[in-house]
Structure 1
Amino acid sequence: MIFKFPYLLSVIGVLLLGAGCKGSDASVQNASEIDSSRICSVKFNADSAFSFVKAQCDFGARTPNSEAIERCGDYIVRKFRGHGLDVTEQRTVVKGWDGKDLRCRNIIAAYKPELADRIIIAGHYDARPWADHDPDSTLHRTPVMAANDGASGIAVMMEIARQIDRLNLAVGIDFICFDAEDYGAPYWAPQEAQDNADNWCLGSQYWSRNPHRPNYTARYGVLLDMVGGRGSKFHYEGFSLQFAQDVVVRAWEAARYAEAADFFPQENGGYVTDDHVPMNTIALIPTINIIPYNKGANFTSHWHTTHDTPENIDPATLRAVGQTVLQLLSEENSN
């Protein structure tokens, strides 16, 4: 198994999901005409989100134990608090595949923390220490700037948080910024380390076992990963269908209302080891992953390379994902 790399749904996987997937496709493809009264009136500002991407990258590559990630974490805390949210910092030390102690700082920003009924929007803000998929092999041990694979998801969350009061929600929202997601073993590591899925998503594994509040739970979660790349297409992700199919159906329906259907094909993608896996399997919170899928290739051409920079972020993609999430949340008012 290759981690943080998409692969086609196996025949067995498709059969296991069979009836459910057919139901999902029918639910979306046979949807009625757009009901204009359901369209979210709050409009996602892609330029604002892009500025949040750039601000994170201005700190440098936010690799574990670096000054850049500490300063970026401080920035994230300031921004969410500035939007009026209640912020909790969860600090610990986790062990990397290479035996290194990694300082880990998960940041949880809560909207209406007093409400028991909650939804999670999550992403990771750390950067991969190694550009091990760069076309230039001499750069493979160079840190990744992670504009898309890291900063984009957090930026979309920040922009949603900036406007969330306008949704008048009767449900609480937790924006969870995970650390130490992208420290999985590179190709030069021992094969045993490469094959171990637990070397990825260290921050979300810790949070899933040790939530920031005792007995914490949420109705569902939405993970945003690599949501700013030019030309991105977000297919149904395998673990999302397995654990939270109903949320997948609702999210892809929300994309229609957000005028983002072209970004969200009603097609199966692959299974991806990502932060939503421990959220589903350990925290037992049904969570979907909005992540790009490129058939037969990496997630995007800039994935885990030195070219994952703000110059390669497309505000149109940020807008498509951000407006879709706003639409999904706005539907809570009619449920």
Structure 2
Amino acid sequence: MNERAALSSAHRRRRRTAGTLAVAAGLVIAACGPDTPEVDPSTLGTRAERPAVRGDLAYGLVQRQVDFGPRVPGSDGHRAQLAWMVETLTPLADTVFTDTFSHTTKEGVALELTNVHAVFGPQKGRRILLLAHWDTRPTSDQASDPADKAKPVPGANDGASGVAVLLELARLFHEQAPPTAVELLFVDGEDYGPTTDDMFLGARHYARTRVTESPPLFGVLLDMVGDTDLRLPMEGYSLEAAPQVVQRVWGLAQQLGYGTVFVSEVGQRILDDHLPLIDAGVPTIDLIDFDYGPGNAYWHTPLDTPDKVSPRSLEIVGEVVAELVYRNR
């Protein structure tokens, strides 16, 4: 696995917790993570009778989002995408609502942010939480060309891919109601930055305001799931906080024939939207391929464009998550 960017004042991903070695920037810390859980196929049940996920439709939803332009909070693209998501979800879900909140960054920038909720089944009680962030990074801080660093990120994979899969799943859930209620959560302010003080804002808001009242059974975060060379190891914090969910998801993927994508390897610990939920007591896993392009060259750069995204990758992730939902009774 390639070395990763450091978690510095300008970077996003990786925190230390008790029991985690203090590691040098860029070091893969899979070796100090938990063991890969064993999967007993007999516990998974048989394949669900349900509609099929269509990768071509999901890919079209990626392209539609990128066509809005960068979805940086406060931008025209951000406003257009918000309106489009609500318009798209309203005829599909039982309940759709927005939750707007404010945040002032360390630099004193006042942001107005909005989480979008789409619920299939009762709003409260037993439900599965599926989430993705819908905003994009204001600057291409990882661009190799200094002239590109001030440009906003197009966000085809880092943002649009997870949203696209959730919207495609919304089509399925409308066509055939899932056996357990599902909440789709589109969180804002995940990628604003430049430091983690001003990231994961929508997930933090949800954890602070919604979880105590009615906690989900568990959560699955979809982030950067469209890479043409998709490879999803078991993210480290997910294994520590929600090993049973990881075990089931990777077991289902193996059963469906996607073991070369959902690989039975322990990956890095990644700072992401699942951590506020874990801290609030909701076992949540992160589906993320944090190896985007050669040497991670497409991440947080102007190269994060739809041609780097694969309809097949979107379909595989959607199929596994759909199977998880429809087999949950």
> If the length of structure 1 is used for normalisation, what is the TM-score?
0.86
Structure 2 residue aligned with 1:112: 121
Which residues of structure 1 form unaligned runs of 5+? Answer: 186-193
Write the letter of the residue equivalent to 1:309.
T
Q: Residues 5 and 264 (structure 1 numbering): CA distance in 2 closer, same or farther, change over 3 Å? A: same
Aligned match for 1:311, one of 307, 310, 324: 307
2:129 is paired with a residue whose SS is: strand
Structure 1 residue aligned with 2:246: 248
Structure 2 residue aligned with 1:201: 200
Structure 1 residue aligned with 2:274: 276
Structure 2 residue aligned with 1:134: 143
1:237 shift after superposition: 0.5
Is 1:301 matched with 2:297? yes
Write the letter of the residue equivalent to 2:39.
S
Distance in 2 separating the partners of 1:27 and 1:46: 27
2:264 is paired with a residue whose SS is: coil
Write the letter of the residue equivalent to 2:169.
I
After superposition, what is the alpha-carbon deviation per residue over 1:286-324, rounded to whole angstroms, capped at 9, x for unaligned? 1000000439986x4311110111121111110110101
Q: Residues 297 and 98 (structure 1 numbering): CA distance in 2 closer, same or farther, change over 3 Å? A: farther
Distance in 1 separating the partners of 2:235 and 2:79: 31
Aligned match for 1:4, one of 12, 15, 34: 12
1:224 is paired with a residue whose SS is: strand
How many residues are treated as equivalent by the alignment? 309
| Contact 1:39–1:257 under 8 Å retained in 2 | no
After superposition, what is the alpha-carbon deviation per residue over 1:57-82, rounded to whole angstroms, capped at 9, x for unaligned? 11100001112101101101111112
| Contact 1:228–1:314 under 8 Å retained in 2 | yes
| Contact 1:237–1:269 under 8 Å retained in 2 | yes
Is 1:289 matched with 2:286? yes
Distance in 1 separating the partners of 2:293 and 2:72: 28
1:242 shift after superposition: 1.1
Distance in 2 separating the partners of 1:206 and 1:87: 18
Matches within 5 A, 1:178-217: 178-185=187-194, 194=195, 197-211=196-210, 215-217=213-215
| Contact 1:257–1:327 under 8 Å retained in 2 | no
Aligned match for 1:159, one of 162, 168, 191: 168
| Contact 1:235–1:293 under 8 Å retained in 2 | no
Distance in 2 separating the partners of 1:109 and 1:67: 23
Q: Residues 279 and 214 (structure 1 numbering): CA distance in 2 closer, same or farther, change over 3 Å? A: closer
Distance in 1 separating the partners of 2:184 and 2:324: 15
| Contact 1:115–1:171 under 8 Å retained in 2 | no
Write the letter of the residue equivalent to 1:4.
R
Which consecutive aligned stretches of 4+ in structure 1 deviate over 6 angstroms post-superposition? 32-35
Structure 2 residue aligned with 1:27: 39
Distance in 2 separating the partners of 1:316 and 1:202: 30
Write the letter of the residue equivalent to 2:114.
R
Greater percentage in helix: 1
Is 1:90 matched with 2:99? yes
Write the letter of the residue equivalent to 1:9.
I
Distance in 1 separating the partners of 2:255 and 2:169: 17
Distance in 2 separating the partners of 1:41 and 1:209: 34
Distance in 1 separating the partners of 2:65 and 2:50: 28
2:73 is paired with a residue whose SS is: coil
Q: Residues 114 and 225 (structure 1 numbering): CA distance in 2 closer, same or farther, change over 3 Å? A: closer
Distance in 1 separating the partners of 2:281 and 2:149: 36
1:290 is paired with a residue whose SS is: strand
Identical counterparts, % of pairs: 30
Structure 2 residue aligned with 1:190: none
Aligned match for 2:234, one of 214, 233, 236: 236
Q: Which moved more, 1:171-180 or 1:111-120?
A: 111-120
Which residues of structure 2 form unaligned runs of 5+? Answer: 1-5, 15-26
| Contact 2:95–2:123 under 8 Å retained in 1 | no
After superposition, what is the alpha-carbon deviation per residue over 1:116-149, rounded to whole angstroms, capped at 9, x for unaligned? 1110000000010001111222110100010100
Q: What is the root-mean-square deviation in Å for CA atoms of aligned residues? A: 2.3
Is 1:172 matched with 2:181? yes
1:232 shift after superposition: 1.7
Distance in 2 separating the partners of 1:149 and 1:122: 13
